[in-house]
Structure 1
Amino acid sequence: MTKPRRVDDAVFDTEDLTKSQLSWSLGQRYSVTSYRSAAAILAQRAPQEMAAVLRVLRDFTISRSEIRAPGGNRMSATTRFADLAAREGFHQEVRIEADLVVKLRAGKGDAAPEIDRIIRDDYIHNHLVDFWRGRVAFDYEWNSKDQTYDRDLYAFRSFFEAGVIDVGVIVTRELSNEFFQSLGYCLDKNGNETDRTVAAKFGASTTGTHKLISRIAAGRSGGCPVLVFGILPDNITPD
């Protein structure tokens, strides 16, 4: 009897293979996780979009003061990320909607008469991705509730099953509580320190790669390949 493999080993690609497929040049600024050969598919099916995504990642940094400042998921760095994506030709806040037409035919062959037709309105309804270009959906999550990942992955699944995309890409953070503790106290809108710590601001219910990857492993994106980039401390710049 052969030794059973873990599901994670079967559906996630190795880091070395993933980085080689992406021609990785971003050092230790991001972690990278590829689900269902997402990196290979991106490189082979959408090489121009892959290059565009990597340019966005190359040009994107976050300062320590931005993390300490108010703003949550819509802080200035989030707006800057969207501007970089737009510069690379990604459309923003793209929604997918579709009706389903079901035809029933009596008999075999193309000439069989249609005996009934059912239309299901809004069969796919209003699922949204942050950015879309070509065969790629692209999302950015900094400090949303972690349930936002379920929404993102279900949107990827809807786009994929409708034949719109080949792969979904998510950029999110991979920063420990110790890192946030090292930033001290939050700032108010005037740049003054408050009595609230940065670690308290980024609580247990907010986004992080470990919460995203566990959802991907559970199959929340269906058959859609997903590529995850985690923002690491080396991508955080001094004030």
Structure 2
Amino acid sequence: MLDRLREIGFDVGCYHHADALLSGAFPGAMEEIEDTLAAFKLPMSSLIGSGGGESEGTQRLRRELSGRGWVKRTIQVEKTVVTFEGTAGKKSYTELGRATVASLSHEIDHVKSFEAGTILLEIEWNNKDPFFDRDLENFKRLHADGAANIGILITRGQSFEDNITAFVKRYAENHELNSLDALTAHGLEPTRRQQNDIDRAVVRAGGFAAGWAAAFVSDKYASSTTNWAKLEDRMRRGVGNPCPLVAIGIPSSVIVED
């Protein structure tokens, strides 16, 4: 399951029998996910212009999933206490009272229901890493309540983390971004704090392109943000257990240098 994504560089992890469940009960779901991710491309200009946040590329990924029926949903779980006399299902049954004693809502960005059940999917491109804990806890609770069968999390892959600085440096060289003024002329407006960080990084790197790339990545893709290593660590520790889970890391091969 998901071998096509692995072959083109995606990180893929399946936990708590998610692979067996997907292949046996949800083959169409994974085909949709594979087709969408295999076609995904992220222009470097979009990544730079977004300042590290969700770029037009990742927004397109969300729209593509939504177009396939993976849409945002709020799922509300209520606990109801019913008081009755007699025997449930029999003529003697008489309901005496009913009250909702607890209600909890979960907003999930991408939800799709199939004949075999419901799958939840979240994309965490560049949030603070505690968002993983929130998502996995939502998956766990909704699975326990019978509202979901599988949870899927998509984030930046390990090769993206390993190679993004080189991509940013090459972008700077290709676009002659060799000074703070050149960044401004290119439509980028670093704050005073960022300018100071760039100046220090340039001195350490011995060149503007390398220094700016290091400062940009450190500022926008810090190790405390959502990435494959952070997600994999949580999976290994059993966060979200026992909900069947799929983790997917987007590789650097999706980047288009423009």
TM-score, length basis structure 1: 0.77
How many angstroms does 1:190 deviate by? 4.5
The equivalent residue for 2:234 is 215
Instruction: Determine which structure has the larger helix proportion and give its number.
Output: 2
Distance (Å, rounded) in 1 between the aligned partners of 2:242 and 2:75: 18
1:100 matched to 2:83: no
Structure-to-structure mapping, 1:1-239, within 5 angstroms: 21-24=1-4, 27-92=7-72, 94-103=73-82, 119-122=100-103, 125-134=104-113, 135-175=118-158, 177-182=161-166, 183-184=168-169, 190-192=186-188, 195=198, 196=212, 197-200=215-218, 201-239=220-258
Q: Is the 8 A contact 1:26 1:58 kept in 2?
A: no
How many angstroms does 1:238 deviate by? 1.9
RMSD: 2.9
Q: Is the 8 A contact 2:139 2:151 kept in 1?
A: yes
**Secondary structure of residue in 2 paired with 1:126:** strand
**Secondary structure of residue in 2 paired with 1:220:** coil
Identity of aligned residues (%): 25
The equivalent residue for 2:193 is none
Distance (Å, rounded) in 2 between the aligned partners of 1:144 and 1:25: 23
TM-score, length basis structure 2: 0.72
CA-to-aligned-CA distance 1:121-171 (integer Å, 9 cap, x gap):
31xx22121101112111111111001101111121222122222111111
CA-to-aligned-CA distance 1:26-85 (integer Å, 9 cap, x gap):
523311001112122112121221111111111112122222223443321221111110
Q: Is the 8 A contact 1:70 1:189 kept in 2?
A: no
**Secondary structure of residue in 2 paired with 1:223:** coil
Q: Is the 8 A contact 1:97 1:127 kept in 2?
A: yes
How many angstroms does 1:107 deviate by? 9.8
Q: Is the 8 A contact 2:42 2:58 kept in 1?
A: no
Distance (Å, rounded) in 1 between the aligned partners of 2:96 and 2:188: 72
**Secondary structure of residue in 2 paired with 1:89:** coil
Q: Is the 8 A contact 2:122 2:153 kept in 1?
A: yes
Instruction: Determine which structure has the larger strand proportion and give its number.
Output: 1
- Structure 1, unmatched stretches of 5+, are 1-20
* Count of matched residue pairs: 216
Change (3 A) 1:101 1:36: same
Distance (Å, rounded) in 1 between the aligned partners of 2:30 and 2:161: 31
Q: Is the 8 A contact 2:164 2:252 kept in 1?
A: no
Distance (Å, rounded) in 1 between the aligned partners of 2:53 and 2:98: 45
CA-to-aligned-CA distance 1:156-212 (integer Å, 9 cap, x gap):
122212222211111111246542321236966944586453322211211111111
Distance (Å, rounded) in 1 between the aligned partners of 2:185 and 2:101: 49
Change (3 A) 1:155 1:73: farther
**Secondary structure of residue in 2 paired with 1:213:** helix
Change (3 A) 1:158 1:39: same
Distance (Å, rounded) in 2 between the aligned partners of 1:72 and 1:160: 32
**Secondary structure of residue in 2 paired with 1:78:** helix
